[in-house]
Structure 1
């Protein structure tokens, strides 16, 4: 049974402890909104989620139900146990103020997911340089035949979700993404729930 629903306001982020065996459900309450997710070993935060290890071991960039998210030490940190969308990204880094200068020079710069994660993770002793590529829930980044990447609006609809099981005690960083292209030009909240694994 799912626990209390927590809301992350648009263009912001949070961090929290997730015990081994617990389920984390990330929800797109209104549809079309990306959430950047990071995971650190709660005992040693130098162990962190790794895009490279995960994609290498999964042999695919299309991660969904049944796939594991690995750490830089090749340990399973999270397992995807339920996924109503099936379209996520683990290639692109969290957006930042530099992202805005690069891609959105005509818009007011925003500190982005990177800045939001820096603030949220600081109380856990996690420094900016320890923030890697995030698992971008609901982000739609197709790869063209030439290898070119596109950032298209998410295909997630209101109420869609992805659920992870923690395979070790974790510190989680989670955002409601701030980049216009990633979210189809709009900004909305992200919800999440933490519950016991009843299996």
Structure 2
């Protein structure tokens, strides 16, 4: 088994995932979130849509077997494996504003949003073109009566993973999340590797 690529704590990466390839995302140490976003490699105006994916799945709890749709209602990838079963597709990437508004930081970290901006710059993707991400391993509880949300510690343990299979050529942006509450107040790495579908 090959060693996974490592995203260091509070940082981000970008890369190309080809149609038919699979992406395996590992929680190396446990309780660490990875913000995931993708774009059509051949037309960057087509991107991953939380609203359409949730609408078509009829659930906010997306897991093994679910397709993930673009803003044009095309399937971008589907989830092949999931050892955790709880992720988030509601909350926006943490940013300097997140740390200023929610945490009260006077010298805020640039967060996942800033890390994605930097990582996706080489593909010509601008900050205003980064939508809500699929937050792998993030645990958000929703009150059924009030709709109030609460960010809980991830349910993922060391070695847990998801596998996503691409339905089109994708530009992928990923982070090892920078928000305290999302990661149970510790910052750890995320691992990933690109597989062929028959591996």
TM band (smaller chain): over 0.9
In structure 1, the gaps of 5 or more residues are: none
Find the aligned partners of 1:85 and 1:94 in 2 and give their Cα distance.
21
TM-score scaled by structure 2? 0.97
> What SS does the corresponding residue of 1:132 show, helix, strand or coil?
coil
Q: 1:158-197 residue pairs with structure 2 within 5 A?
A: 158-197=158-197
- Deviation string, structure 1 residues 104-155 (Cα, Å, up to 9, x no partner): 1146410000000000000001000000000000000010121000001101
- Cα shift at 1:4: 4.4
Find the aligned partners of 1:18 and 1:106 in 2 and give their Cα distance.
36
Aligned to 1:140: 139
Find the aligned partners of 1:195 and 1:147 in 2 and give their Cα distance.
38
Find the aligned partners of 1:18 and 1:4 in 2 and give their Cα distance.
18
> What SS does the corresponding residue of 1:37 show, helix, strand or coil?
strand
Find the aligned partners of 1:52 and 1:8 in 2 and give their Cα distance.
27
Find the aligned partners of 1:76 and 1:12 in 2 and give their Cα distance.
28
Q: 144-153 or 170-179, which moves further after superposition?
A: 144-153
Find the aligned partners of 1:123 and 1:24 in 2 and give their Cα distance.
21
List structure 1 segments (4+ residues) > 6 angstroms apart after TM superposition: none
> What SS does the corresponding residue of 1:13 show, helix, strand or coil?
strand
The question of 1:44 aligning with 2:39 is answered no
Q: Which has the higher strand share?
A: 2
Aligned Cα root-mean-square deviation (Å): 1.1
Q: How many residues align structurally?
A: 198
- Cα shift at 1:5: 1.0
In structure 2, the gaps of 5 or more residues are: none
Q: 97-106 or 65-74, which moves further after superposition?
A: 97-106
- Deviation string, structure 1 residues 71-98 (Cα, Å, up to 9, x no partner): 0000000100000000000000000000
